[in-house]
Structure 1
Amino acid sequence: MSTYLLVHGAWHSGEAWDRVVPLLTTAGHRVLAPSLTGHGDTAHLLTPEVGLETYVDDVAGLIEAEDLTDVILVGHSFAGLVVSSVANRLPDRIGHLVYLDAMVPADGETAVDVMPITATLIEAAAASGTPWRVPPMPELPDPHGLFGITDPDDKAWVRGMLCDEPVLAYRQPVRLDHPAVAAIPRTHIHCVGQEIDGITRRPVPATAQVFELRSGHDCMVIVPDELAALLLKLA
């Protein structure tokens, strides 16, 4: 039995994994899919002081509280930053790092460094009445839809779980200075077929394995079976 810890991306909640969790548990594995502070059932805890370090505390604290080891730690999208810093803090507890269509940072980088388009979201928030809150990205014309989702029912479901993201989450830097992190096996899963202009993917280290998944960005919603099949290869 393996232990999967699935970390949602910006604006989402742990509910985003609802279609993937049962597929992994049915295969005999333990799966945790928490909502980060200020998301899902903790949406009321969102404050200007919540940031990347808060999320790292959330995930690292869960690993320690549950005494998890050899964790397959999966970060979707923005959560590539979260899982990177968690691995840096607890490298001896992480068995595999998975970057799921995710930001891939270097030590000391922020979300703005990794994906400069994020600065535009922060600037838009600064011009609003709540400058510390970044609202979810707007729905785009098909085929991009809402985070790649085009099915009306699926869009309604995901839209119902979305919440604002604190600016501090995009401004705090990742910590990747522990030498043991380099020894953790890494897999990158790239969602392909619906690329958006202005968003570029960073090169993957030669030591990492790469899978491609034909899907929009929110692949856990769009193609959960295919995603689960890839994750099960890592068990």
Structure 2
Amino acid sequence: MPVTYVLVHGAWHSGQSWARVVPRLGASGRPVFTPTLTGYGETRHLLSPDTGLGTHTADVVRLLVEEDLRDVVLVGHSYAGMVISAVANEVPERIARLVYLDAMVPVHGESALDAMPVIRGMIGGDWRMPPPPAPFGLFGITDPADIAWLRTMLSDQSTRCLEEPVAMDNPALAAIPRTHIHCTVKPVDVEFRPVPSVQPNGEPADVRELATGHDCMITTPAELAEMLLDIGDLAASRLSSPAGAGR
């Protein structure tokens, strides 16, 4: 059974950040969508103090509904771990698998600040948050050409993105399998919370690693794409099973 990839970028980035991954995934014949969330990239002019997690959740839900996307492998990078969690809570029937790509992994009622307390220090007195300075603001990228490209896509974000709590109270959410991909090269001491050994659906945890920095879609796109293709095969296989076909 075919699956569709929806790749959701993290804070300060845009859908352009997946540009090196999309052709590799697309070569498999599976559809790939890379939405830019409201307030970032080409939509930066729409950024306001009210732009938050709810805005970004609505962005992705609208894409899934308007395009009638089903059997979706929903990938969230960094902050977008919050977004994909909220999306799956709203439309669990459309999601085949959640992929937390070096991402925040919240529980019901948490904000990004709860899921990753170290970022509290980034919030100042203004609602607008510019991209952080180096080294954190380079997101693990060291190649000068890649840094220059990264800076073309970075833009400010609203503090509301980090402060707004996530809703994860739909019982159907727990049934969706999850994969966690961790980038192991950290320029600064920023760690995400440990992954429980058992998923909410009772399956063993699926945790994978990429030996690169946080922006793996830029630094190791081939390796990331290969991993996502394998995850897509896993999702398709599960959907084709008698249990998956009847979900």
Fold-level match, TM-score > 0.5? Answer: yes
What displacement does 1:98 show? 0.1
**Equivalent runs, 1:64-213 vs 2, <5 Å:** 64-123=65-124, 126=125, 131-140=126-135, 146-194=138-186, 196-197=188-189, 199-205=190-196, 206-207=198-199, 208-213=205-210
Match of 1:38 in 2: 39
Distance 2:115 2:8 in 1: 18
Where is the helix percentage greater, Structure 1 or Structure 2?
2
Distance 1:196 1:158 in 2: 18
Match of 1:10 in 2: 11
Distance 1:40 1:195 in 2: 25
What displacement does 1:19 show? 0.2
Runs of 4+ in 1 over 6 A off after TM superposition: none
Tell me, which stretches of 5 or more residues in structure 2 are unaligned?
200-204, 233-247
Is 1:230 matched with 2:230?
no
RMSD: 1.1
What displacement does 1:145 show? 7.3
Query: C-alpha deviations, 1:83-135, integer Å up to 9, x for none?
Result: 00000000010000000000010100001111112211113xx1xxxx11011
- Whether the aligned pair in 1 keeps the contact of 2:185 and 2:214 (CA below 8 Å) is no
Q: Which amino acid aligns with 2:100?
A: Y
Distance 2:122 2:210 in 1: 27
What displacement does 1:201 show? 2.0
Q: Percent sequence identity over matched residues?
A: 56
Distance 1:104 1:23 in 2: 26
Q: Which amino acid aligns with 1:15?
A: Q
Q: Which amino acid aligns with 1:219?
A: C
- Whether the aligned pair in 1 keeps the contact of 2:3 and 2:70 (CA below 8 Å) is no
Compute the TM-score of the two structures, normalised by the length of structure 1: 0.93
Distance 1:216 1:31 in 2: 23
Tell me, which stretches of 5 or more residues in structure 1 are unaligned?
none
**187-196 or 171-180: bigger deviation:** 187-196
Distance 1:78 1:201 in 2: 11
What displacement does 1:17 show? 0.2
What displacement does 1:195 show? 5.5
SS across alignment from 1:48: coil
SS across alignment from 1:113: helix
Distance 2:191 2:144 in 1: 27
Distance 2:76 2:47 in 1: 20
What displacement does 1:160 show? 1.1
Query: C-alpha deviations, 1:127-146, integer Å up to 9, x for none?
Result: xxxx1101111111xxx771
SS across alignment from 2:138: coil
Match of 2:235 in 1: none
Q: 1:195 to 1:181 in 2, by over 3 A?
A: farther
What displacement does 1:200 show? 2.3
